[in-house]
Amino acid sequence: MTSIPLEHFLVLAAGLFALGLFGVLSRRNAISVLMGIELMLNGVSVNFLAFARHWGWATLDGPVFAVFVITVAAAEVAVALAIIITLYRRLRTSDPEAAADLKG
Amino acid sequence: MTLSVAIFYAVAATVLGAALLAMTQRNLYHCALWLVVSLFGVAGVFLFLGAEFLAAVQVLIYVGAVTVFLIFGIMLTRDVMTDRVPRFNRQALSSAVVAILVGACILFAVRSLPPGPAADIPAGASDLSRLGPELLLPEKGFVLAFELVSVLLLAALVGAIVIARKDQENPK
């Protein structure tokens, strides 16, 4: 698979990141925002692994970081969903716009 | 264009298409399902990159646990009365522009890269047997992060339970 150039993986990673960012910024459901965050984290992991392969796996920083990204994402989803469920109990909606009490 | 390269382009197109659909569907459950497709595709991309262990971990944890958890959250917070909730907020158009600009900035930053090692990658360079020592041996440098991540998982576990439990009136 070394015939696939690095740039193609980077385009894929950038596309994933941009799509996730669009979801985070524009969706009106907190769980959709969480899904956008997951897409962004996946784009980052692809980027790390693409560069690790590009340098011939000289150091394994890329895969180790990708493992940590996946682990931290799992922990983050747990806490984020707990928060969303608690918010839903209070506000009867999971729209982030409804939780804008602190907004100027 | 060998068959495997063609398959890579198909998988990449699937990943991006499913991600776009996951971010734009009206039905939240469909969004979660398209996210599952996209994450499976990313696991395939990991296989093309030669990181088999990470592909397995991706399927196990991201697809197998994170998306299941997201679907739990969708089921538990579904407002069955309102099916016509708006999808996008007021800044949807500008956030689309910002997202495209961010993607363009990332690609601009990596437009000229030095070529990698000319020789082909030695077999077994990305093996799992090399990844384990990275995480556990003190001289490799990631053992502290490894221990901290395990503490983080414990904290997330306890924190999620504490946050989500019902308010209890303490009679004592």
Q: In the structure, what pLDDT confidence band is assigned to residue A102 with cuts at 50, 70 and 90? A: confident
Using a CB-CB cut-off of 8 Å, the residues of chain A touching B121 are 2, 53, 56-57
CB B35 within 8 A of CB B18: yes
Q: What average pLDDT does the structure give for chain B?
A: 87
> What is the C-alpha to C-alpha distance for residues B126 and A58, in angstroms, rounded to an integer?
9
- What local confidence, expressed as pLDDT, does residue B133 receive? 86
Cβ atoms B146, B136 nearer than 8 A: yes
Distance separating alpha carbons of residues A1 and A23, to the nearest angstrom: 32
Interface touch B91/A26, C-beta < 8 Å: yes
- Whether residues B103 and A18 touch (CB distance < 8 A) is answered with yes
Beta bridge pairs of residue B88: A27
Q: What is the pLDDT of residues A27-78, one digit of tens each?
A: 999 999 999 999 999 999 999 999 998 888 888 889 999 999 999 999 999 9
- State how far residue A16 is from chain B, nearest Cα, in angstroms: 6
Select the more confidently predicted residue: B23 or B81: B23
| Residue B147 scores a pLDDT above 60 | yes
Contact A1 B32 (CB under 8 A): no
Give ipTM to 2 decimals: 0.92
Please report the DSSP string for chain A in residue order.
-TTS-HHHHHHHHHHHHHHHHHHHHHBSSHHHHHHHHHHHHHHHHHHHHHHHHHTTTSS-HHHHHHHHHHHHHHHHHHHHHHHHHHHHHHHS---GGGG-TT--
* pLDDT over threshold 60, residue B80: no
Q: pTM of the prediction?
A: 0.90
Given a cut of 90, whether residue A91 has pLDDT beyond it is no
Q: How far apart are CA A93 and CA A99, in angstroms?
A: 9
* Closest partner CB to B163 (pick from A14, A29, A82): A82
Is residue B78 a contact partner of residue A93, using CB atoms and an 8 Å limit? no
Query: How many Å apart are CA A32 and CA B22, to the nearest integer?
Result: 8
Mean pLDDT for B38-58 is 94
Residues B11-33: pLDDT tens digits?
999 999 999 999 999 888 999 99
Q: Give the residue on B whose Cα is nearest the Cα of A40.
A: B19
CA distance B136 to chain A (A): 11
